[in-house]
Structure 1
Amino acid sequence: MQTTKSGTRDSETCLREMTCLPLGGYSVWSSLPPINFSSSSQSKPIILTVATMDSASFFRDKSLGAESPISGLISLLAAVDSLSYLDGLDGLSKQLVFSVFTGEAWGYLGSRRFLLELDLQSDAVGGLNGSSIDTVIEIGSVGKGFSQGNKTFFAHAAGASSATSDALNALQHAQDSLESENIIVSSASTSNPGIPPSSLMAFLRKNPFASGITLEDFDTAFANKFYDSHLDDMSNINASAIVAAASLVARTLYILASGNKNLSSSSLSAINVNASLVEELMGCLLSCEPGLSCELVKKYISPRATCPSHYVGVIVGEPSSSPHPGSVSDVSRFLWNFLADKTSSRKEGISNCSEDCSNKGGVCIKAETNDKGFCVSSTTRYVPAYSTRLKFESGTWNLLPSNASDQMGTVDPVWTESNWDAIGLRVYTLQHAAFDRLVLLAGIAVTLLAYLAIVLTRAFLTKTLKQD
């Protein structure tokens, strides 16, 4: 059993006394195709597609979050997979970048930290430039978008820029190319007060003029009645809806990145989402059977647990863009390997990680399942995710003062989890009934013998005293 340490009070106090750790983990981002740092292609406008990997619930180890947000995550992974088979991606006029944030259930700390790292131009976001982000497309809750035989989705737009209009037109174009799939995508109601709670809000707080849309399966009212509950499991979503959302997103991204608004349906027909992959990902990320012991996950990593949990966890040790695998959750490590594999090209002249892969611009995938791993050319990075008001110095976490002039700082909460102390518990086993009967008989026998001994002793003493 575990219990929290007493007297922790608030985050500032427990961080100072080192009785807690900040909530956080590692987000993952990847580009398709890999960014060529030696050419001018890195200055291309960026289309950033984002999803969330963490959820919350009353019981932290039961945080599955199937509809919100894992349905969007699976849709993003399926979209990346379908785009990875296309030829000529180097010739696209815009750069495709995919980012999966963790910590979004706790004040959007993953997306906030990602934006801060962009400002700092840290190694974790090397190759990215925040000013080059043209459009943000977020895949939110899409697992329930199935109604009366149609897969229905709503695009919640931020701003009225030309980039946002282009994204909405590309979604409509993608829908038209999927006419036989009964997929419907509509713009969200103009009566809505804004976009729904999402990572896109962090981008808008940073830049109110940012362009973006978030794809959801609801219009004016949130539809997931099991939100942040252990009941938000695989039975709460529909695989067909996730496949449809992935198809929409994949074709929309290709239309936007190509710069050709008049792509024919025949040219888009080569982008097909693997429905079997979607079902496999659902089984891996949303169930204990097979859970993280599924073949797809074990192809990339050696999971430490079987049952998936999408609780964000805590940051252990110094945050790094190249963390030790033991400091990264199973899900984050799987996503890093999966995205690095799907967005990669084999490194020429290097077959495994023992041959100086990283020094030649490569990354090592499948290192946990293969002694030497495989060296591939891929721009895939970990980004530490924790509050922007925290700084790790000299082995301790320091809380930075909030900046009243910075809107991001004033609303950025600092979430921490207390250190867990072990407490003891003594358990007694229930003995067999025959043993209880034996104890009873022994007790009766002892009682009778004691009574007999008393009677005999009393008679002996009485007789002895009379003789005297």
Structure 2
Amino acid sequence: MESVPDLQKSMYMVVDGYPCVRLVNLSGEIGCSNPGRDKVVAPIIKYKNNKELGLPSAILLSMDDVQGFFSRYVLPITMRTGESCSNTELVLRKHLNVKDHIQRISNDSSFASNVAGVLVESRVEIQHKLKGFSPARKFPQAEFAPYHNTTYEWNPIGSGFMWKSYNFPVFLLSESSTSTLEEIAMKNEKTEKAYTTNVAEFDVVMQTTKVGTHDSESCLKEETCLPLGGYRWLDQRGESYAALDFYASICEFYVWSAVPPINNSSSNQSKPIILTVASMDAASFFRDKSLGADSPISGLISLLAAVDALSHVDGLDNLNKQLVFLVFTGEAWGYLGSRRFLLELDQQSDAVRGLNSSLIQLVMEIGSTGKGFSQGNKTFFAHTQVSSDTNEALDALKLAQESLKSEGVTVSNASSSNPGIPPSSLMAFLRKNSSTSGIVLEDFDTVFANKFYHSHLDDSANINSSAIVAAASLVARTLYVLASDKKDSTSSALSSINANASLVEELISCLLDCDPGLSCELVSSYITSVDTCPSHYVGVVLGEPSSTPSPNQVDDISRFVWNFLADRTSTPKGNTTVCSKDCSNNGGVCIRAETNGKGICVNSTTRYVPAYSTRLKLDSGTWKVLPPNSSDPMGMLDPVWTESNWNTIGLRVYTVQEAAYDRLVLLGGISVTVLAYLAIVLTRAYITKALKQD
């Protein structure tokens, strides 16, 4: 041992994992936290469903048991001070979809009182064993639906437990940590009566818990939380303690781009607009394990591949309609991105300069597309809001399908028994204007095909790249038909529009895997990434939101999407391609600036827009919750989601001695000391007596 850190490393084992954190809205809390201000330390035991807990324990839980475990433990949902029970119930029914009653006590109180923390195992083969796992609700974000039947089950496998509050820490272990913790739990079980035991130490102390701010209005006022939306916290690992440090922020914007580029200097902006929409944020019970491969990243990849396919088509400047591509973030948390976009349109802000809401003819949303593959066929479903423009879009879809018949691509109208469109960004548009024409392209008809919706198991193994390629080709050809008014499915121009399968494969490996992850060649050609492993959690907002951020304020994925769209929707800017001050002054944008130091100036209408609640305003550095506005029905439903602040989040394991053994050692030491003292006294007396006799 050469130093104190070396001693610490020998005593404490740092455990890799992904935490569940505390989220707060206007009516209460969800997620996980240590119960107080201190770290939680408890012995590690393997969960057994039929076994009661005799003392506070850190429970090692397999994925097979997660559903049953959390059904045994339901903590009370916090009421705001001064609210009556009936008012709280009303708020929770609106925001948290609690239908029967407020569960205020544990389903198994003796068991629950001894749950000190939970460690969830990770295994590669678990997806093949489980029939499904979704901690989301059966109708995600039902309160925003533009129809009355909100009891419909789009996600029948959903348990909804990620929308409850847990007063103990929960970690998802990495695969390597799972094996280690299993060995430790088995060792504890075999040496149950030994004088030493192995314990887990959880450092998941949330500021909202420490200060007692249990709703978003109070925690924003006391600055113990930050709004979900446009900004995302970086995670940093300490040298001697694996911890997430609450130290720096990078903004995660939504991005929009136009084909052809919009000439803002022209007063004649009269082309009808076709919006093509996808989302890039995912949700999960575990904050930093939010991949969302099928829902929604497969749709994002389909959109990017469709834009790439259209970029190779000649004559896009002569299209009869304006194509606009939107990639939203914050959609999993009250449709933050789409609602912010609609507000910016109403205010005609610089972020959406060149767009006019009255010219929007159609909203075409690309939802989940990664599971639209079965027995060699690629099957998709069009969920629609019926109107004349929607019928025109359906005709274009059918025409595109006909042109792809040899590829085994089929598109069907969604079942008429559905209550309406599935959970999607289009809901925000319809709640704003019920006459909006729109289509949501999905890989399911009546219920989600994704059995791991809003789960950490919705990863690259849960999707099929061929389905994503087919969806991209289908969307690209449909948009071309709609924008060009060419109705011939056999035309050479239409048949030449094909998604690049290699690009789709690369996007999957870049956006959904750690190897190569964001260090892949495609991403590296546009940006210098900060992280390698992608995460699609929306993050939090810090500071004044801006539509013209500097690159170091924007997260990796948003910067990549912006650069990719700006590149694929651009035309060269004059005779020079090297970026200069004149580039932005003359309406151009600078792409690849991070990779070659200078960048390339192109003519493109591609912009960042920060996404956050329409009921929030930054006033003198403090976030204020605005009163509900009756003219904004979705704003009145807005839960105003925030995430609790924290100092560090960490998990480590070490060995401790039983207190009884320590007391026994102390008693033994005292006894030895007393006996030694008596022996000395007696020996001295004996020697003294013997000397006197001599």
Same fold (TM over 0.5): yes
Whether the 8 Å CA contact 1:3–1:423 is kept in 2: the answer is yes
Aligned to 1:433: none
Alignment partners' CA distance in 1, 2:491 and 2:453: 37
SS at match of 1:30: strand
Aligned pairs (5 A) from 1:163-312: 163-262=389-488, 264-312=490-538
1:418 corresponds to which of 644, 669, 672 = 644
Measured in 1, the distance between the counterparts of 2:533 and 2:264 equals: 39
Q: Which residue of 1 aligns with 2:206?
A: 4
**Uncovered stretches (5+) of structure 1, i.e. residues with no partner:** 431-442
Q: Which residue of 2 aligns with 1:121?
A: 348
8 Å contact from structure 2 (residues 403, 489) kept in 1:
no
CA RMSD of aligned residues (A): 2.3
Instruction: Tell which has more relative contact order, 1 or 2 (C-alpha 8 A, sep 6+).
Output: 1
Q: Distance in 1 between matches of 2:448 and 2:256?
A: 28
- In the aligned structure 2, how far is the partner of 1:387 from the partner of 1:361? 29
Question: Does structure 1 conserve the Cα–Cα contact (< 8 Å) formed by 2:305 and 2:499?
Answer: yes
Would you say the 8 A contact 2:273–2:359 is kept in 1? Answer: yes
User: 2:556 corresponds to which residue?
Assistant: 330
Asked if the contact 2:384/2:440 (under 8 Å) is kept, the reply is yes
**Are 2:294 and 2:371, in contact at CA under 8 Å, matched by a contact in 1?**
yes
Question: Is 1:99 matched with 2:326?
Answer: yes
Hey, what's the Cα distance between the residues in 2 that align with 1:156 and 1:198?
10
Match of 1:65 among 292, 303, 320: 292
**What residue number does 2:375 align with?**
148
Check the 8 A contact 2:291/2:535 in 1, yes or no.
yes
Q: What do residues 380-422 of structure 1 show as CA deviations (whole Å, max 9, x unaligned)?
A: 0011100010112222211110123431221122001111123
The structure-2 alpha-carbon separation of the partners of 1:171 and 1:394, relative to structure 1 and needing over 3 Å to count, comes to same
Contact 2:371 2:463 in 1 (8 A): yes
Provide the secondary structure at the position in 2 that maps to 1:3. coil
Distance (Å, rounded) in 2 between the aligned partners of 1:325 and 1:77? 21
Alpha-carbon distance, 1:361 to partner? 0.8
Q: Quick one: structure 1 residues 213 and 293, their matched pair in 2 at CA, closer, same or farther if it must change by over 3 Å?
A: same
Contact 1:316 1:327 in 2 (8 A): no
Q: Which of 295, 302, 309 is the equivalent residue of 1:82?
A: 309
Residues 356-395 of structure 1: pairs in structure 2 closer than 5 A:
356-395=582-621
CA drift at 1:88: 0.5
- State the partner residue of 1:434: none
**CA 1:300–1:424 in 2, change beyond 3 Å: closer, same or farther?**
closer
Q: Separation in 2 of the partners of 1:287 and 1:316?
A: 28
The offset of 1:40, in angstroms, is 5.5
Q: Which residue of 2 aligns with 1:437?
A: none
Q: 1:256 to 1:465 in 2, by over 3 A?
A: farther
Q: 1:287 to 1:423 in 2, by over 3 A?
A: closer
Q: Secondary structure, in 3 states, of the residue corresponding to 1:369?
A: helix
Residues 410 and 428 of structure 1, relative CA distance in 2, 3 Å threshold: closer
Match of 2:219 among 1, 11, 14: 14
Give the Cα–Cα distance (whole angstroms) in 2 for the partners of residues 372 and 198 of structure 1: 39
1:428–1:176 CA distance, 2 compared to 1 (3 A): closer
- Counterparts of 2:287 and 2:332 in 1: how far apart (Å)? 12
Shift, 1:259, TM fit = 1.8
Match of 2:187 in 1: none
Which segments of 5 or more consecutive residues in structure 2 lack a partner in the other structure?
A: 1-202, 231-252, 657-668
TM-score normalised by length of structure 2: 0.62
Q: What SS is found at the alignment partner of 1:385? A: coil
2: CA distance between counterparts of 1:240 and 1:165? 27
Shift of residue 374, structure 1, vs aligned partner = 1.5
- The reply on whether 1:344 has 2:570 as its aligned counterpart is yes
Question: What is the aligned partner in structure 2 of residue 435 from structure 1?
Answer: none
Deviations 1:261-305 (A, max 9, x none): 235342211111100000000001111111111111111111111
Instruction: Give the C-alpha shift of residue 456 in structure 1.
Output: 7.0
Distance 1:424 1:30 in 2: 40
Deviations 1:6-63 (A, max 9, x none): 2121111111112211000211000011112233663210010000000100101000
**8 Å Cα contact 2:400/2:489 also seen in 1:** no
Mapped partners of 2:356, 2:465: distance in 1: 35
Partner AA of 2:337 in structure 1: G
Measured against aligned partners, the alpha-carbon deviations of 1:244-274 in whole angstroms (never above 9, x if no partner) come to 0001000000000002223534221111110
Cross-structure match for 2:280: 53
CA distance in structure 2 between the aligned counterparts of 1:195 and 1:265, rounded to whole angstroms: 32
Partners of 2:261 and 2:570 within 8 A in 1: yes
In the TM superposition, what whole-angstrom CA distance separates every residue of 1:294-323 from its partner, at most 9, and x where no partner exists? 111111111111111000001121001012
- SS of equivalent residue, structure 2 residue 439: strand
Q: Secondary structure of the equivalent of 1:356?
A: helix
Structure 2: how far apart are the matches of 1:130 and 1:209?
A: 13
Distance 2:655 2:584 in 1: 56
